[in-house]
Structure 1
Amino acid sequence: MTKEVQRTTLFMKNKIGLALLSAPLLFGCSQSELPINDSNYSTHQKQQVIIVHGLARSASSMEKMSDRVSSSGYQVCVVDYSTLGRAVDTTLHESSAQIDQCIDKFNRELSQTKGSKVHFVGHSLGGLVIRNYLAQNNSMTHSPHFGEVVFVGTPNKGSDVADFFSNLWLLPLAGGTAASLTTSSESLPNSLPEPNYAFGVIAGTDSYPILKYMFDNSNDGLVSVESTQLEGMQDFIAVNITHDSLRSDPLVTDLIVNYLDQRRFASQ
Structure 2
Amino acid sequence: MNWRIIIILTLLSLAGCSRPNTEEPVEVGGTQQQHIIVVHGLARSAWSMKTMASIFKEQHYQVCVVDYPTIRQTLQHTLDSSANELTRCINDWYPDYPEEEQQGKIHFVGHSLGGLVIRDYLDKHTDFVDSELMGRVVLLGTPNHGSDVADFFSGSWLISLVGGTAESLTTDDASFPNSLPEPNYAFGVIAGTRTYPALSGMFEATNDGLVSVSSAQLQGMTDFIEVNVKHDRLRRDPHVAGLILNYFRTGTFTPDRFSEQKTQ
**What per-residue deviation string (whole Å, max 9, x for no partner) do you get for residues 149-207 of structure 1?**
00000000000000001154421210000100000112110111111111000000000
**Structure 2 equivalent of residue 193 of structure 1:** 181
Aligned mates of 2:246, 2:254 — CA distance in 1: 7
**Structure 1 equivalent of residue 140 of structure 2:** 152
- What is the deviation of 1:214? 0.8
CA radius of gyration, larger in: 1
Where do 1:117-136 residues align within 5 Å?
117-136=105-124
Does 2:10 align with 1:23? no
- What is the deviation of 1:109? 8.8
**Structure 2 equivalent of residue 266 of structure 1:** 254
Aligned mates of 1:110, 1:87 — CA distance in 2: 30
**Structure 1 equivalent of residue 127 of structure 2:** 139
Does 2:79 align with 1:89? no
**What per-residue deviation string (whole Å, max 9, x for no partner) do you get for residues 118-163 of structure 1?**
1110000000000000000001111111101000000000000000
Partner of 1:218, secondary structure, is coil
Does 2:52 align with 1:65? yes
Larger RCO (CA within 8 A; separation ≥ 6): 1
Aligned mates of 2:166, 2:13 — CA distance in 1: 16
Partner of 2:132, secondary structure, is coil
TM-score by length of 1: 0.86
Gaps of at least 5 residues in structure 1 are 1-10, 27-40
**Structure 1 equivalent of residue 87 of structure 2:** 100
Identical-pair percentage: 52
Q: Is the 8 A contact 1:50 1:119 kept in 2?
A: yes
**Structure 2 equivalent of residue 165 of structure 1:** 153
**Structure 2 equivalent of residue 232 of structure 1:** 220
**What per-residue deviation string (whole Å, max 9, x for no partner) do you get for residues 33-88 of structure 1?**
xxxxxxxx96xx10110000000000000000000011111100000001000000
Aligned mates of 1:50, 1:109 — CA distance in 2: 18
**What per-residue deviation string (whole Å, max 9, x for no partner) do you get for residues 3-46 of structure 1?**
xxxxxxxx8332111101223659xxxxxxxxxxxxxx96xx10
- The number of equivalent residue pairs is 242
Q: Is the 8 A contact 1:19 1:210 kept in 2?
A: yes
Which of the numbers 193, 217, 237 marks the counterpart of 1:205?
193
**Structure 1 equivalent of residue 26 of structure 2:** none
Q: State the AA in 2 paired with 1:212.
A: S
